[in-house]
Amino acid sequence: MNGINYYHNRREFLSRSALGFGAAAASTLIDPHLMAATVDTGVLGKPHKPATAKRVIHLFMSGGPSHIDLFDPKPRLRAENGQELPESIRGTQRVTLMTRNQAKFPCFGSPYDFAQHGESGMWFSELLPHMASCADDWCQIRSLQTEPINHDPAMMFMQTGRGVPGRPAFGSWLHYGLGAESADLPAYVVMTSGNPGQPILSRYWHSGFLPSRYQGVQFQSTGDPVLYLSNPKGIDHQTRGRVIELTNRLNKIKHDQIGDPEIEARIDAFQMAYRMQVSVPELTDFSDESQATLDLYGPDVKQQGSFAYQCLLARRLAERGVRFVQLFNGGWDHHGNLKDAIKNKSRDVDQASAALIKDLKMRGMLDETLVVWGGEFGRTAYTQGSNGRDHHPRCFTKMVAGGGFKGGTVYGATDEYGYNITEKRMPVRDLHATLLHCLGIDHERLTFKFQGLDAKLTGVEPAEVIPDLLA
């Protein structure tokens, strides 16, 4: 059957199954590889160049937070509130189906005040007082530009460098290239919080055409952080280990026969799951955190599934060698009632976002950790519906701290309405290339053969590292 030798009788099956079922059942020792696996070093073996960062924590505000109301103050837009946005500003740029047929495009000045903070004088909205207290640690990129105008492709583009499914996420590329630092936790962990609004889909942390061993592992917001972490009733840890050991022996036989890398990935997943039964309960036990640290993250820090809880968990994951942690916080798609909606969302994330920066800094970890904050695009300068803003990929703001980025820096600028870029346009691919550079990776040389091409995160279009962002 296609050159594959299938078993034909029970005796042959048992004889080929390593020690056989009887020996496995009698064994009191579990395969040591289940508890002490070799750490994956990645295909590169070592970075291409000296790295300033070892890991990434991406705080992703899903839905598209408004740059005009949070980071990029526009006095003229406020002064002309309610007047028609000049046609020369709007130009012929495409808009979504939700506003394409609007008769008018009235200016919508931010209802919130801005002030300068830190020695750098970086501007922040009054909605983000805690993040503003870290002004000199943040690098504020005001001239980011993406291509898709709707959520799902824009989410895909920000995570994978393409607006279509099937491509590996940034965290998968990082695991593939540099491997893992921990044998007891996944190299790439994902958590979700907030009102989802737009769906937060598993393909945003998928390994795409890379082997599935590089896919992100989602930690749940309720119950066991990882599905099926607890043993079934009547099964102890040692018994489960013997079951996994036998399963992996059978998988190893099949892998030796057909060489399918997905079988190897399944073996790795079983081993990691078994080790996580020990590592994850310790990881999620905050009893060793000081009261001062818990207070820093805010009153929700002990509430599983809250953004504050996940920010503290992200720091604990980073301490334990996890390379890429991504927190998706949903509910930033404010097509109506923006004044109240963005105020509530900002209150949900402001203190914990700043606490993560301060906590990493106090522990000497910020210098080697890239903390990224932002969404998939910005929002329009004109009103949509009932005092809301539509999607705006033309320009928006991302914040990056630590890991070799230059704190207290504002990069790029937009026009007086926050609608067009006037200085230093930065495509998403340049952001990806610059982040990889900080991690010691040349984005042109981290490739995977796919459909006859040397595929890479930044694709075939030009992408460049931005030196002005680097310390």
- Provide the pairing of β-strand 391-392 with 369-374: unpaired
Whether residue 17 has pLDDT greater than 50: no
What's the pLDDT tens digit per position in 233-290?
A: 777 777 777 777 777 788 788 778 887 877 777 777 777 777 778 788 899 999 999 9
pLDDT score, position 32: 52
pLDDT score, position 28: 36
Whether residue 26 has pLDDT greater than 50: no
- Cβ atoms within 10 Å of 25's Cβ, excluding its own: 10
Residue 427 β-bridge partners: 145
pLDDT score, position 175: 97
pLDDT score, position 375: 98
pLDDT score, position 39: 67
Instruction: Give percent of the chain above pLDDT 70.
Output: 91
pLDDT score, position 249: 83
Whether residue 36 has pLDDT greater than 70: no
What's the pLDDT tens digit per position in 52-107?
A: 999 999 999 999 999 999 999 999 999 999 999 999 999 888 889 888 888 899 99
At residue 466 the predicted structure's pLDDT band, cuts being 50, 70 and 90, is very high
Taking residues 196-218, what's their average pLDDT?
A: 92
pTM of the model: 0.88
Domain 55-225+284-361+368-469: which topology?
Alkaline Phosphatase, subunit A (3.40.720)
What's the pLDDT tens digit per position in 379-429?
A: 999 999 889 999 999 999 999 999 999 999 999 999 999 999 999 999 999
Amino acid at 289: E
Spell out the domain ranges in the chain: 55-225+284-361+368-469
What's the pLDDT tens digit per position in 352-375?
A: 999 999 999 999 999 999 999 999
Q: What is the mean pLDDT of the chain?
A: 89
* Between 121 and 253, residue with greater pLDDT: 121
Cα R_g (the chain), whole angstroms? 24
